[in-house]
Structure 1
């Protein structure tokens, strides 16, 4: 274990103690205890989609939250950046250069997370360019299958709209794109996160935190989500709409 991993683990364990009221030593012992063979589960496989012009905060927030969730559950969590034409280099909306080391393989994912970016700049790289090109929306439409949850945040939801994924489904997006989403057939809800089963969407640039915390809560349990909130010093905000929620 390298120093950075050790520090992150220590921080996570301390946060787990704060969130659950369990002393640090007890939290350490619980984490160190091996899971019983009967209780083992397959890893939670998360693919975060990258494209030219993707928003930095949109891609980083869900990646970090979901990656850190591994500290608060006995289930392994495998989070990867993927790109349709990957592996390849990506330049994000504000010039950050990064690389998607994994190619497109939604059949190997349990969660597919689609960030947004560039919706206000129609001629620049970003969501509009990907919609015009058509390849990513087609790939997203073809990715749907039983067992896969497709999640999107901010204007990444408009890529799902272009793919036909949100048509007739409860959903949300950035407030400036809501009219477009509704016009294209989405049933827009006034909520921070909208969970419609295999389609989960969130609205706003910072909503990647809330989307990811909700997915952790749903997939890994309340204790994992509470531990993450304590570690991140961030409390999930806004309403989560589900089919049981009042319309």
Structure 2
């Protein structure tokens, strides 16, 4: 562990009340971190033209910050279907994305929403009409990969046939469409059906990401993030897993 990493970790963990000076002293004395006992959790956040800023940023930040609260590396990347490119989000933010489509290298694929209310603008509707992203999402499914989506990003999964016959949720204005297209709508903030996890609402990226951290990295990691973010997960999580 280099000095910069040590100091950054100390600041984050101390703010959350989750570390002691002795633990950091021990790490510094050995010159390495006592963490990282398993392979990394690889997260790809999917971007497209017209994606909502809050939808893309909340999961990215929460999942990236989770690296401070777990013994497992967490690698979070923005990806696009069309390879390296610049994306313009719903409110004009431009982002340079350097990583292309590689779901075979991910453990968790997160699909934001955006633009569902504006059918002629870039966003979810445009991607559904184009067809390439829904097809790629459908083809990405494999054992070991969890596909998650939030807000109207769930409608891209619906267009891919991924939500058909499965418990799910989405933004309140798209719920009727989701149900009409075969999704088993649940009135919950987050719906966890194993390898499919969905969340409803513009701010639900926070709650989706915190739930995924809790599920993949443990309750302590989620609690640490809540303390650091000064945000408590809100709403009900519906899950198909017994005794969750």
**How far has the Cα of 1:10 moved from its partner?**
3.4
User: What are the residue-to-residue correspondences of 1:1-247 with 2, within 5 Å?
Assistant: 8-17=8-17, 20=18, 24-26=20-22, 28-29=24-25, 34-35=33-34, 40-244=37-241
Secondary structure of the corresponding residue to residue 197 of structure 2: strand
Q: Do 1:16 and 1:27's aligned partners in 2 also have CA atoms closer than 8 Å?
A: no
Change (3 A) 1:26 1:139: same
For residues 93 and 201 of structure 1, the distance between their equivalents in structure 2, rounded to whole angstroms, comes to 21
Cα distance in 2 between the residues matched to 1:73 and 1:101: 27
Cα contact 1:31–1:74 (8 A) shared by 2:
no
| Deviation sequence 1:148-187 (CA, Å, 0-9, x none) | 0000000000000000000000000000000000000000
Q: Note closer, same or farther for the CA distance 1:8–1:62 as it changes in structure 2 (3 Å cut).
A: farther
Indicate the RMSD between aligned Cα atoms, in angstroms. 2.1
Cα separation, 2, equivalents of 1:2 and 1:123: 51
What 5-or-longer segments of structure 2 have no aligned partner? Answer: none
Worse overlay, 27-36 or 228-237: 27-36
TM-score (norm 2): 0.92
Give the direction of change, closer, same or farther, for the CA distance of 1:42–1:129 in structure 2 (3 Å limit): same
Contact 2:112–2:149 under 8 Å retained in 1: yes
Task: Kindly provide the CA deviation profile for residues 57-104 of structure 1, in whole angstroms up to 9, marking residues without a partner as x.
Answer: 000000000000000011000000000001110000000000111000
Q: How many residues align?
A: 239
Unaligned runs of 5+ in 1: none
Residues 46-65 of structure 1: per-residue CA shift (max 9 Å, x gap): 00000000000000000000
The 1:226/1:75 distance shift into structure 2, 3 A limit, reads same
2-structure distance, mates of 1:124, 1:79: 28
Q: Secondary structure at the match of 2:39?
A: coil
TM-score normalized by structure 1? 0.91
Structure 1 residues 188 and 27, CA gap change in structure 2 (3 angstroms): farther
